[in-house]
Amino acid sequence: MTLPVGARAVVARVPEPVSSSLVRFVIVAARRTGSNLLCTLLAYNLLCWLKLLALPERERSSYAKRLRFRFIAVAATVGRSGRRVVLRLAAGYPLLNDFVEALQRIRQLAERPAEPTGRPSS
């Protein structure tokens, strides 16, 4: 499937802060069915929130592939110790401190109640 001629002109006029890979991402995602598009956009939004709220400052500008290999595709096993679920990471994992810090930030987000929006209470 080729893009209409007008679509190429729109891609050429994308503002500077938007990367060309994001434009390609949206174009490829638009070719998929509606449910695939929604799942893809949901995953993209979750990744953006993860970068903003949980990851260390130096990792926030990283691409999805780099984050996947550094934080998600980690050699580990999941086991049980009593009633607790235990994640056993590989002994030579170089980003252990960053991983633990991100995990703690995610847990803090789950514990913290949402702040109300709208008018401040008197």
Mind listing the pLDDT tens digit for each residue in 39-59?
A: 778 888 888 888 888 888 888
Contact assessment for residue 71 and residue 99, using Cβ atoms and an 8 Å cutoff: yes
Q: Is residue 89 included in any domain, yes or no?
A: yes
The C-alpha atoms of residue 51 and residue 53 are separated, in whole angstroms, by: 6
User: At what angle are helices 34-53 and 96-111 packed, to 10 degrees?
Assistant: 100
Please report whether residue 93 resides in a domain.
Answer: yes
pTM of the model: 0.54
User: Does a structural domain hold residue 18?
Assistant: no
Residue 50 tokens read as: 């993860």
Domain assignment of residue 101, given as a range = 56-111
Distance CA(74)–CA(11), nearest Å, equals: 36
Closest-CA residue to 109 (of 44, 45, 53, 47): 53
Q: Looking at the 3D structure of the chain, how many domains does it have?
A: 1
In a domain, 90, yes or no: yes
Mean pLDDT, the chain, integer: 74
74 token code pair? 């980690």
Please report whether residue 33 resides in a domain: no
